[in-house]
Structure 1
Amino acid sequence: MSDITETTVLRTGIEVDGETARYLTVERDGPAVLLLHGTYWSRVWLPVLGRLADAGLRPVAVDLPGLGRSGGELTPETATVPALAAWVARFASALKLSGPVAVAGHDIGGAVAQHLLVRGPLDVSRLALVNSVTYDSWPVPGVARFRDPQVVAATTADEMLAARRKAVTAALGGAATEQRIADYLDPWTDARVRRSWMAMAGAADSRYTLDAVPALRRNTTPKLLVWGEDDGFQKVGYAERFASEIPHTTLVRVPDAGHIPTENAPGRIARALADFFTA
């Protein structure tokens, strides 16, 4: 992980369900913030971890089971939003995070975060969504195709890596360098991770975010949307709709940033998140 320049950023692990859950963190005293990824991995949060810690927070960017550096393997049943939300709650329990916990979600991790807020089983104190799925904005075509078992069965390792390279390059936008792309792609060289990713893609279903809308409208928890305006996967129009319809929501638009805005504008993203979580 060549982009790690601060020695305080650590990758460590803890056992959940008999497998090692890996996560990035900065070991500081302070309120914990759970950072959830979606169709990528904890690498999306790396550029902001040190800055969040400097603001007095304890950031914890976990790799969901079977993805990134975590052990285990997702199945179509364990890759659903409710199942992943339950796993995140068990992960938080393993870390002995007590009381309400702040949560941020990117991409499909945002669907998991929304589910945690309105359905549990974790008590969420504040919710931030960074270029997250909302409403019926997902799954995008490149993910939805893996809902077909025949596509899954026919996809070779080379085809999968080529598709992920294309998606990662587009998501990084102006931040796409060959080294950074290689960092993002590295977990998918493992067949187990590729199978887990396809299980997550196959389980992707917008009904989870659509069903959450009535409860979100009633919810009084503070919410923050941080959005790269140039996102070609999760359009900023969805963020504008969410901010206008869901109470207690603030939208921060980030110009010249795409689907992974933490890479395009880490300082701006970190400031927005730190101000929100320390308010």
Structure 2
Amino acid sequence: MSLITDSLIVRGARIAYRDHGEGEVVVLIHGTPSHSYEWRAVVPRVEQAGYRTIAYDLLGYGSSERPVAADTSVAGQTELLGAVLDGLGVTQATIIAHDIGGAIGLRFALAHPERVRRLMVLDTVSYDSWPSSTWQKIIDEHLDDYAGLPQDELDQLLTDQLRMTVHDTGLMTGETLQAYLAPHQSAVGRASFFEHQVRHYDSTYTEEITDQLGTLAMPVRIVWGEQDQWQPVAYAHRLHADIPGSELVVIPEAGHFVMEDAPERVAGEVLRFLGD
């Protein structure tokens, strides 16, 4: 199921997005290696509960444009988030954000607290938690010569990584696995994956906001898969300790893509957060 229905031009680049429903605005930001597809089990439930939901593919990801010279770092994507909201006429929203999306959400909430009503981060990168050891190995071995990497080898590399994102590896097969692989199965897709995603796996963007986490004033909920192999749950507890008044929810038998292992639980946590 693709969530994407429309496109808009933001700062000269095409952003693929979905904007449905009425009421309080909820913006969902995906992680990497991913796109808005990861929210397919969550967005319909939030819409049905009476909220206006906006999900979009980050610049250089999914169905959004992949400009060669674009800044698709966490910092660049944070600025883009503000421009996307402006383009859709949104002054304030609740942000639900996963993985690097969580870093984007945290940075945006710190820079523009008046625009963030609530913030939920799920299995987010933080502090010095990224890139994980397996991604660092990929960076070391392939970032400078990915042009020569055959498609089948990239597919296998991504498949191995994606199966690490779920506690139940049987979930990352068939149509689901193919949906995550699809954006990278072309020459442009391969180049974009390394240039727009992997090249920006850099903890500088999270380490430089560590001292500011205590100033977050809006409600914050931290949701984490207990079996996350990329972002160990210890980071969830550290964030919880550093963000005053935050709530922490640890979901058992779930990995980094917690919305794949426990879609109903994640949707329920989002709705409870919105209802608090």
Q: Deviations over 1:91-110 (max 9, x none)?
A: 11111112x22112111111
SS at match of 2:123: strand
Equivalent residue number for residue 31 of structure 2: 38
Q: CA deviation at 1:129?
A: 0.6
Q: Which amino acid in the other structure matches residue 183 of structure 1?
A: A
Q: Which runs of 5+ in 2 are unaligned?
A: none
User: For 1:224, what is the secondary structure of its paired residue?
Assistant: strand
Amino acid at match of 1:125: R
Q: Does 1:207 align with 2:204?
A: yes
Matches within 5 A, 1:222-241: 222-241=219-238
- Counterpart residue number, 2:188: 192
Query: Which letter does structure 2 place at the counterpart of 1:116?
Result: F
251, 269, 273: which one pairs with 1:272? 269
Q: Kindly report the root-mean-square deviation, in angstroms, between the aligned alpha carbons of the 2 structures.
A: 2.1
Residue in 2 aligned with 1:155? Answer: 149
Does residue 183 (structure 1) correspond to residue 176 (structure 2)? The answer is: no
Query: Deviation of residue 81 (structure 1)?
Result: 1.4
Decide whether aligned partners of structure 1 residues 29 and 182 sit closer, same or farther in structure 2, where only a CA change above 3 A counts: same
Which residue is equivalent to 1:115? 107
Q: Percent identity?
A: 30
In the TM superposition, residue 17 of structure 1 has moved relative to its aligned partner by: 2.6
Paired residues, what number? 270
Q: TM-score, normalised by structure 1?
A: 0.89
Equivalent residues of 2:113, 2:218 under 8 A apart? no
In structure 1, distance between residues paired with 2:188 and 2:114: 28
Measured against aligned partners, the alpha-carbon deviations of 1:71-127 in whole angstroms (never above 9, x if no partner) come to 23365x6022111111111111111112x2211211111111111111249822211
Q: Structure 1: where are the runs of 5+ without partners?
A: none
Letter in 2 for 1:105: A
Task: Summarize the alignment of residues 116-135 of structure 1 with structure 2, pairs less than 5 Å apart.
Answer: 116-120=108-112, 123-135=115-127
1:137 is displaced (CA, Å) by 0.7
Do the aligned partners of residues 263 and 88 (structure 1) sit closer, same or farther apart at CA in structure 2, a change above 3 Å counting? same
**In structure 1, C-alpha distance between the alignment counterparts of 2:249 and 2:93, rounded to whole Å:** 22
CA distance in 1, matches of 2:117, 2:28: 14
Compute the TM-score of the two structures, normalised by the length of structure 2: 0.90
Rounded to whole Å, the distance in 2 between the matches of 1:231 and 1:257 is 7
Q: Is the 8 A contact 1:101 1:124 kept in 2?
A: yes
In structure 2, how many angstroms separate the alpha carbons of the residues matched to 1:169 and 1:74?
A: 29
Mapped contact 1:24–1:46 kept (Cα < 8 A)? no
Q: Which residue of the other structure, out of 243, 249, 255, is the alignment partner of 1:258? A: 255
